[in-house]
């Protein structure tokens, strides 16, 4: 994939599985041979610790990149998988929004920092803070797409209109190439009627932008960050690991060069290009929708 795809994981609501999704999709893509960078833009630095890096021992972070004290390459550290790099966060990022206020073109700091280095990678992900401030704005201005994690709980769509307004405003005024890459449904409990109602509501709102794979509530997913590991390394046979692996596959298939390659191979083989029918997942009433 040429000129790395920059994708922001964004939702101003906390506790929706945003960082969990960013960490685990990054790891699954790296395991598939993709060159991946995960930028931790959240002062909580959970993506940093989730990949096994001690956030208290981080000397240079995303903060240094945003205020111009270091380049992206100077800040990167190796992740737990070959091909996975991390731009870590630390406590310094807490004051970044205040310092950025007086910096010229403050919304473009991350975009400018990634201008050259993005060509070396397949995917660059940004884990945004649960707010719509300058850190998130920098991510949206730099990004080609946004992945929105949504928890399968009551009030799932609350606040999403504000997020979509922000995305559309950034697209109109600062980044015409910005689009919603996809919506990830998280923390699903298929034993409850509420989960299915939320799935239906989200699919009605976002249509085909919702990923087919739905991440369930899974104790192993909850445990993995405490051990500083993505679920792929903590418990690769858990349901959570399988779902994030499937999400990584879906993301690859959504990329234009992947689609173009499939069409080209189909044309060369002389076979009609027929879409496969999605197989129903045991215990997942949303499959095949």
Query: 32-51: per-residue pLDDT in tens?
Result: 999 999 999 999 999 999 99
**Residue 184, pLDDT score:** 97
Q: What band does 116 get if pLDDT is binned at 50, 70 and 90? A: confident
Is pLDDT of 153 > 70? yes
**CA of 18: how far to CAs of 106, 150, 232, 282, in Å?**
24, 8, 17, 25
Is pLDDT of 89 > 60? yes
Q: What band does 266 get if pLDDT is binned at 50, 70 and 90? A: very low
Measured CA to CA, the distance from residue 286 to residue 259 in angstroms comes to 25
Q: Which has more pLDDT, 140 or 265?
A: 140
Q: What band does 258 get if pLDDT is binned at 50, 70 and 90? A: low
Q: What band does 151 get if pLDDT is binned at 50, 70 and 90? A: very high
pLDDT in tens, 179-222: 999 999 999 999 999 999 999 999 999 999 999 999 999 999 99
Encode burial over 241-255: b for 16+ CB neighbours within 10 A, e otherwise. Answer: bbbbbbbbeebbeeb
Name the residue with tokens 């919304």.
107
Mean pLDDT of the chain: 89
List helix spans (H) across the chain.
18-31, 46-50, 62-66, 72-75, 96-100, 109-114, 134-142, 160-173, 193-206, 219-223, 231-234, 239-253, 256-269
Q: Which strand ranges, in their side-by-side order, compose the sheet holding 36-40?
A: 77-78, 84-87, 36-40, 123-127, 5-9, 145-151, 179-186
Domain boundaries, the chain: 5-269
pTM of the model: 0.88
Percentage of the chain modeled with pLDDT above 70: 88
Q: Which has more pLDDT, 225 or 260?
A: 225
Measured CA to CA, the distance from residue 219 to residue 17 in angstroms comes to 13
User: CATH topology for 5-269?
Assistant: Rossmann fold (3.40.50)
**Residue 275, pLDDT score:** 41
Residue closest to 5 by CA, chosen among 135, 142, 101: 142
Is pLDDT of 3 > 90? no
HSE of 269, CA atoms in CB hemisphere, 13 A: 9
**Residue 269, pLDDT score:** 52
């Amino acid at each position: 994939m040429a000129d790395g795809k920059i994708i922001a994981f964004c939702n101003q609501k906390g506790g929706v599985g945003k960082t969990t999704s960013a960490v685990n999709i990054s790891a699954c893509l790296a395991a598939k041979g993709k060159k991946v960078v995960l930028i931790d833009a959240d002062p909580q630095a959970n993506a940093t610790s989730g990949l096994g890096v001690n956030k208290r021992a981080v000397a240079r972070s995303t903060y240094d990149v945003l205020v111009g004290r270091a380049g992206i390459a100077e800040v990167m550290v190796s992740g737990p998988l070959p091909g996975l790099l991390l731009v870590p966060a630390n406590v310094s990022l807490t004051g970044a929004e205040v310092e950025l206020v007086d910096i010229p073109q403050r919304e473009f700091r991350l975009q400018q920092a990634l201008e050259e280095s993005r060509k070396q990678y397949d995917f660059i992900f940004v884990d945004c803070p649960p707010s719509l401030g300058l850190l998130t704005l920098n991510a949206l201005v730099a990004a080609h797409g946004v992945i929105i994690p949504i928890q399968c709980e009551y009030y799932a769509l609350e606040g999403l209109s504000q997020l979509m307004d922000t995305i559309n405003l950034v697209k109109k005024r600062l980044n015409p190439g910005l689009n919603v890459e996809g919506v990830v449904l998280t923390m699903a409990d298929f034993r409850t009627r509420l989960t299915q109602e939320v799935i239906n509501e989200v699919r009605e709102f976002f249509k085909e932008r919702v990923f087919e794979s739905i991440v369930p509530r899974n104790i192993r997913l909850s445990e993995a960050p405490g051990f500083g590991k993505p679920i792929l390394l903590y418990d690769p046979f858990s349901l959570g690991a399988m779902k994030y692996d499937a999400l990584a596959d879906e993301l690859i298939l959504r990329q234009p060069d992947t689609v173009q390659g499939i069409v080209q191979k189909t044309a060369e083989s002389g076979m009609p290009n027929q879409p496969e029918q999605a197989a129903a997942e045991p215990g997942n009433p949303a499959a095949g929708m």
